[in-house]
Amino acid sequence: MTERITLADMRAVVRMMRGAARRHVMPSFRCLDRTDIRAKSGPLDIVTVADEATERDLTTALQAAWPAALVVGEEAVAADPAILDGLATAGLAFVIDPIDGTANYAAGVPLFGVMVSVVVDGQAVGGAILDPVCDVAAFAAHGQGAWLEEGSGITRPLHVAPPVPAREMAGNASWRYLPPDLRDVVTHNLPRVAGSWDFRCAAHEYLMLVDGRCHFLLFNRTLPWDHLAGWLIHAEAGGYSAHFDGSPYRVTDRSGGLLYAPDRESWQALRDLLLTPG
């Protein structure tokens, strides 16, 4: 890898995220007009003027700090899918989800976040997730641990929950995007764990996971703006994750699902419990 991303770099990225959220996300929260919201691929896939403004703000800030970097924003890719093709080969790239949980945001529900990940030579090496309502951010750099930073500047290390038997785990299985056959299996098996919930916001679900406040997450879609930041922070906090078939998640993957657990042994037990028919 030609570019080394440090914790100081990630703190700088978090500052950019906080600035963009103060300028665009929070001023528009619960103040959107109907004309400020539109559907993209369908009625459950929406974008707001705040998403677009936040992405533009972050793109400008990141390119000012790292002029040679490729910036891959969710809304930019929606307009030009070819942008995503450069992610695997870029020497340095930033991936932006300007508002994760847009459906909550547009509905006035305070469960949404801003996510940015860093990719160097096709490998995720940095991630940050900001909750702009509580002004708290999780961030990590490869090999340098995972950290939680309050708006006051107080910072502490993050660690995943200790492993427990699969039936004692609590977490989220985002079943609604699973293929029909697998969705039937997972929803049938979910009552076998201790508890499950759905925030409609991967950012908040990752914030709970990496801080040891739940044990597992399950997703079907693996788009980079939704998962690269959380995946890297979870790994740096000591957790284990893989596709449903056990193969490792990679920057270029667009399918295969993702299952997160405290360690490899508990991952296998949870996979057997949730994904096995019967």
Tell me the pLDDT tens digit for each residue of 210-220.
999 999 999 99
116 closest CA partner among 200, 34, 58: 58
Annotated binding-site members for Mg(2+): 74, 97, 99-100, 226
Q: What is the mean pLDDT of residues 94-112?
A: 97
User: Alpha-carbon distance 138 to 97, whole Å?
Assistant: 15
Q: What percent of the chain has pLDDT over 90?
A: 95
Residue 3: strand, helix, or coil: coil
CATH of span 166-275: 3.40.190.80
CA distance 215 to 160: 8
59 touches 98 (CB < 8 A): no
**Residue keyed to tokens 């419990």:** 273
Q: Where are the alpha helices (DSSP H) in the chain?
A: 7-20, 26-28, 49-65, 74-79, 102-107, 180-189, 202-210, 224-236, 264-275
Average pLDDT over residues 122-136: 98
Retrieve residue 229's tokens: 């930041």
Q: What is the pLDDT of residues 33-72, one digit of tens each?
A: 999 999 887 777 899 999 999 999 999 999 999 999 999 9
User: Mean of the pLDDT values across residues 172-197?
Assistant: 95
Structure tokens at 53: 């403004």
pLDDT at 45 (0 to 100): 83
CB 188, CB 220: distance < 8 Å: no
d(CA 201, CA 75): 17
State which fold the 7-157 domain adopts: Fructose-1,6-Bisphosphatase; Chain A, domain 1 (3.30.540)
Burial class (CB in 10 A: 0-12, 13-18, 19+), 73: buried
User: DSSP characters for 89-106?
Assistant: T-SSEEEEEEEETHHHHH
Q: Scanning the structure block, which residue is given the tokens 């299985």? A: 173
Q: Report d(CA 204, CA 208) in Å as an integer.
A: 6
CA atoms 58, 63, 69, 73: torsion sign:
positive
Q: Who wins on pLDDT, 3 or 126?
A: 126
Task: Please tell me the chain's helix, strand, coil percentages from 3-state DSSP, rounded to the nearest 5.
Answer: 40, 25, 35
Find the mean pLDDT for residues 155-170. Answer: 98
**pLDDT tens-digit profile of 236-256?**
999 999 999 999 999 999 999
Would you list which residues are annotated within the binding site?
74, 97, 99-100, 226
**Which of 85, 69, 66 is CA-nearest to residue 77?**
85
Q: How far apart are CA 185 and CA 165, in angstroms?
A: 20
Nearest to 96 by CA among 131, 54, 38: 54
What are residue 261's DSSP bridge partners?
Answer: 240
pLDDT tens per residue across span 186-197:
999 999 999 999
The residues spanned by each domain of the chain are 7-157, 166-275
pLDDT for residue 1 is more than 50: no
CA 240/CA 256 separation, integer angstroms: 16
Average pLDDT of 126-152? 97
